[in-house]
Amino acid sequence: MDYDVLILGGGIIGCAVAYELSKYNLNIALIEKDYDIVNELSSNNTAIVYDGSESNDEFMSIMENRGMKLIKEHCKKFDIEYNKIGALRIATDESRYNAINTMYSKAKERQLEGVHIIEDNAIYDIEPNLKIQANKALYSENIAVIPPYNLAISYAEVAADNGVNFRLEEEVIDIKTISKGFKITTNKNKFTCKFVINTIPNESFHDKYCEASHEFKGRKIKYILLNEKLDKTMNGVVIDDMDDEKFVINIPTLSKGNLIGICSDKLLDLEEELQLAKNISHNIKKELITNMFTETYSKSNMFIDDSNIGDGYIKVIGNHYAKITIAPVIAIDIEQKLKVNMNITKKRDYIDKKREVYVFRNMSKEQRNKIIALDKKYGNIICSCNNISEGEIVDSIRRPLGARTVEGVKRRTGIGRGSCNGSSCNMKIMKILAREMNKSILNIVDDSIDSRILVGRIKEFNEI
Q: What's the confidence (pLDDT) of residue 345?
A: 93
Q: What's the confidence (pLDDT) of residue 327?
A: 97
- Average pLDDT for the chain: 88
Q: 163 and 201 share a domain?
A: yes
Across 87-101, 216-230, 257-271, least confident range: 216-230
Whether 352 maps to a domain, the answer reads no
How large is the average pLDDT for residues 242-252? 83
Q: What's the confidence (pLDDT) of residue 172?
A: 92
How large is the average pLDDT for residues 411-421? 78
Q: 224 and 128 share a domain?
A: yes
The pLDDT > 70 percentage for the chain reads: 92
Is pLDDT above 50 for 213? no
Whether 347 maps to a domain, the answer reads no
Question: 123-134: per-residue pLDDT in tens?
Answer: 999 998 888 888
Query: What backbone phi and psi angles, to 5 degrees, belong to 294?
Result: -125, 140
Q: 325 and 279 share a domain?
A: no
Q: 408 and 436 share a domain?
A: yes
Q: 166 and 247 share a domain?
A: no
- Those residues whose C-beta lies under 8 Å from the C-beta of residue 348, and which sit 6 or more positions away, are none
- For residue 189, the domain's CATH number is 3.50.50.60
Instruction: Answer with the residue of higher pLDDT: 254 or 117.
Output: 117
How large is the average pLDDT for residues 134-158? 95
Q: 222 and 211 share a domain?
A: no
Instruction: Answer with the residue of higher pLDDT: 204 or 375.
Output: 375
Which of 309, 341, 373 delimits the end of a domain? 341
How large is the average pLDDT for residues 100-112? 93
Question: 49-68: per-residue pLDDT in tens?
Answer: 999 999 989 999 999 999 99
Q: State the pLDDT confidence band at 97, using cuts at 50, 70 and 90.
A: confident
* pTM score, whole prediction: 0.91
Q: What's the confidence (pLDDT) of residue 377?
A: 94
Is pLDDT above 90 for 424? no
- Tell me which residue range forms the domain holding 109: 84-144+216-299
Q: State the pLDDT confidence band at 286, using cuts at 50, 70 and 90.
A: confident
- For residue 290, the domain's CATH number is 3.30.9.10
Instruction: Answer with the residue of higher pLDDT: 214 or 157.
Output: 157
Residue type, 67: G
Whether 78 maps to a domain, the answer reads no
Question: 23-45: per-residue pLDDT in tens?
Answer: 999 999 999 999 899 988 877 78
CB contact burial 206-219 (16+ within 10 A = b; e otherwise): ebebbeeeeebeee
Q: What's the confidence (pLDDT) of residue 199?
A: 94
Query: What backbone phi and psi angles, to 5 degrees, belong to 320?
Result: -145, 145
Q: State the pLDDT confidence band at 212, using cuts at 50, 70 and 90.
A: very low
Q: 309 and 281 share a domain?
A: no
CB-CB neighbours of 201 under 10 Å: 20
Is pLDDT above 60 for 407? yes
Q: 178 and 282 share a domain?
A: no
3-class secondary structure for the chain?
Answer: CCEEEEEECCCHHHHHHHHHHCCECCCEEEECCCCCCCCCCCCCCCEEECCCCCCCCHHHHHHHHHHHHHHHHHHHHCCCCCEECCEEEEECCHHHHHHHHHHHHHHHHCCCCCEEEEECHHHHHHCCCCCCCCCEEEEECCCEEECHHHHHHHHHHHHHHCCCEEECCCCEEEEEEECCEEEEEECCCEEEEEEEEECCCCCCCECHHHCCCCCCCCEEEEEEEECCCCCCCCCCEEEEECCCCEEEEEEECCCCCEEEEEEECCCCCHHHHHHHHCCCCCCCCHHHEEEEEEEEECECCCEEECCCHHHCEEEEECCECCHHHHHHHHHHHHHHHHHHHCCCCECCCCCCCCCCCCCHHHCCHHHHHHHHHHCHHHHCEEECCCCEEHHHHHHHHHCCCCCCCHHHHHHHHCCCCCCCCCCCCHHHHHHHHHHHHCCCHHHCECCCCCCECCCCCCCCCCCC
Q: 194 and 292 share a domain?
A: no
Residue type, 432: I
Residue 2 vs residues 37, 181, 188, 394, 456: alpha-carbon distances, Å: 22, 11, 15, 33, 41
Q: 396 and 253 share a domain?
A: no
Is pLDDT above 70 for 5? yes
Q: 400 and 364 share a domain?
A: yes
Separation of alpha carbons 328 and 350, rounded Å: 19
Q: State the pLDDT confidence band at 464, using cuts at 50, 70 and 90.
A: low
- The number of domains in the chain is 3
Q: State the pLDDT confidence band at 218, using cuts at 50, 70 and 90.
A: low
The pLDDT > 90 percentage for the chain reads: 57
Q: What's the confidence (pLDDT) of residue 237?
A: 93
Q: 405 and 285 share a domain?
A: no
How large is the average pLDDT for residues 412-426? 77
Instruction: Answer with the residue of higher pLDDT: 204 or 160.
Output: 160
Pairing of strands 313-317, 190-198: parallel
- For residue 381, the domain's CATH number is 1.10.10.1100
Q: State the pLDDT confidence band at 207, using cuts at 50, 70 and 90.
A: low
Among 48, 49, 52, smallest CA distance to 62 is for: 52
Q: What's the confidence (pLDDT) of residue 452?
A: 84
Instruction: Answer with the residue of higher pLDDT: 180 or 365.
Output: 365
Separation of alpha carbons 232 and 258, rounded Å: 11
Pairing of strands 47-49, 83-84: unpaired
Q: What's the confidence (pLDDT) of residue 164?
A: 97
Q: What's the confidence (pLDDT) of residue 205?
A: 55
